[in-house]
């Protein structure tokens, strides 16, 4: 039978509907615990108590799961994205290192899941390229009352409940307070060189502009409070002294997950650590195109689909970060960024120059870097 619906349009349209994220776990006939991530879990009936989920017919994990006597639906919490990605992998080792305990029927209950629902198979029906699996509920509980993990437009996130008073981000407040202590030095550098000088802070996986002095040829294109996703190689200055686990997560945020790209980003990070600063050398039209993508991203409510566009645009800039500078040559730089040391418990921060004049000598670039490093040295005291 012919299908007149475009598969891409089908996924795109339904992708605008957010779903919860659950892991179906079981101990199949081979005795080894396993699980599969589903976004299709739903309640069916209260009397009798029935639930459903819809695995892909070709899923090898589903083929294992259906040999079990029982299974458990684990509703993931918003801070369990890493676990979700691990269990979404294929292969026999994806359950390695997963913390769980057996439910009343023996099915794995995942540690720190929001809730769990243990079932036996009531009915299994093949429909199209999926199965409809009905489960009869035998036991269930809320394990941790917290926000669940959501899936929307190919990305994971969380629900932001409304509040009468918006809760301020402690990291952002702390970063703004630190920036205020060096405001006069930031304004002095901006005035002395006729450039824009700003202070950035790593808040979550965004770089947030917390202070700006606009005295460059062109105002900084990003307003106070602007957020830019930290996607390699962007954000390397924040990783200079970061823990290995943080660096590893940063490296994993690139849309190109090839080993060769990872090695390039690791080499770039090592270069930034050696130099003590980073810079972006690209033609104005290239930078303007990237700025337009970021502006559209902010205007889109930071939707996952648009974030993927930002990731791709940042990847396309990768070769323009920190090219070797040759004495006597001149360069068009979009920015110069120097780490700003902060104390324990404070967010990673940096100083950034933008609005830089074209055809700049290496001597001038060195002078900019030295001025920023002097501010950083004062902040360290």
pLDDT at 289 > cutoff 90: no
- Tens digits of residue pLDDT in 187-206: 999 999 999 999 999 999 99
Mean pLDDT of the chain: 89
Q: 170-286+319-380 has which fold?
A: Beta-Lactamase (3.30.450)
CB-CB contact of 131 with 55 (8 Å): yes
Q: Which residues of 141-161 are buried (b: 16+ CB within 10 A; e: fewer)?
A: eebeeeebbbbbbebbbeeee
Question: φ and ψ at 87, to 5 degrees?
Answer: -75, -15
Q: Where are the alpha helices (DSSP H) in 300-361?
A: 304-316
Q: Residue 296 pLDDT > 90, yes or no?
A: no
Please give the pLDDT value at position 354. 92
Q: Which residues make Cβ contacts (< 8 Å) with residue 317, sequence separation at least 6?
A: 233, 234, 280, 282, 286, 290
185, pLDDT greater than 90: yes
Q: Where in the chain is the domain with CATH 2.30.110.10?
A: 16-158
Overall fold of domain 16-158: Pnp Oxidase; Chain A (2.30.110)
Higher pLDDT, residue 223 or 109: 109
Average pLDDT of span 226-235 = 90
Of 12-26, 171-185, 346-360, which gets the smallest average pLDDT? 12-26
Mean pLDDT of 254-282: 93
How far apart, in whole angstroms, are the C-alpha atoms of residue 83 and residue 79?
Answer: 9
Chain segment 4-33, per-residue pLDDT in tens: 888 888 887 887 778 889 999 999 999 999
Tell me the CA distances in angstroms from 57 to 32, 107, 199, one per residue in order. Answer: 21, 22, 52
Mean of pLDDT values over 41-66: 94
| DSSP H stretches of helix in 216-361 | 244-251, 259-275, 284-299, 304-316
Where does CATH 3.30.450.40 sit in the chain?
Answer: 170-286+319-380
Which pLDDT band, with edges at 50, 70 and 90, does 162 fall under?
very low
């Amino acid at each position: 039978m012919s299908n007149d619906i475009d598969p891409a349009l089908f996924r795109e349209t339904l992708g605008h509907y957010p779903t919860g994220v659950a892991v179906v776990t079981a101990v199949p006939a081979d005795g080894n615990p396993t699980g599969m991530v589903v976004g299709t879990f739903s309640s069916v009936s209260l009397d009798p108590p029935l639930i459903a989920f819809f695995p892909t017919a070709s899923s090898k994990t589903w083929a294992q799961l259906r040999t079990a006597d029982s299974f458990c639906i684990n509703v993931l919490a918003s801070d369990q994205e890493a676990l979700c990605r691990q269990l979404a992998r294929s292969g026999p080792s994806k359950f390695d290192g997963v913390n769980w305990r057996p439910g009343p029927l023996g099915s794995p209950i995942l540690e720190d899941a929001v809730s769990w629902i243990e079932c036996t198979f009531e009915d299994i029906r093949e429909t199209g390229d999926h199965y409809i699996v009905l489960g009869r509920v035998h036991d269930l509980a809320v394990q941790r009352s917290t926000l669940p993990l959501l899936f929307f437009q190919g990305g994971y996130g969380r629900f932001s409940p409304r509040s009468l008073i918006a809760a301020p981000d402690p990291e952002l407040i702390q970063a703004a307070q630190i920036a205020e202590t060096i405001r006069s030095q930031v304004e002095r550098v901006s005035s002395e060189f006729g450039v824009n000088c700003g202070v950035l802070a790593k808040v979550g996986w965004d770089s947030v502009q917390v202070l700006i002095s606009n005295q460059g040829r062109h105002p900084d294109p990003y307003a106070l409070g602007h957020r830019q996703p930290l996607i390699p190689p962007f954000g390397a200055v924040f990783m200079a002294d970061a823990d290995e686990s943080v660096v590893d997560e940063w490296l994993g945020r690139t849309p190109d997950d090839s080993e060769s790209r990872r090695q390039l980003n690791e080499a770039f990070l090592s270069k930034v650590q050696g130099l003590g600063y980073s810079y972006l050398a690209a033609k104005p039209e290239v930078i303007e195109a990237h700025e337009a993508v970021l502006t559209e991203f902010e205007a889109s409510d930071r939707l996952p689909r648009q974030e993927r566009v930002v990731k791709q645009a940042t990847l396309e800039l990768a070769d323009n970060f920190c090219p070797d500078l040759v004495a006597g040559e001149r360069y068009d730089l979009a920015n110069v960024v120097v780490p700003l040391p902060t104390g324990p418990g404070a967010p990673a921060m940096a100083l950034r120059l933008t609005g830089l004049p074209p055809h700049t000598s290496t001597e001038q670039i060195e002078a900019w870097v030295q001025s920023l490093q002097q501010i950083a040295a004062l902040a360290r005291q």
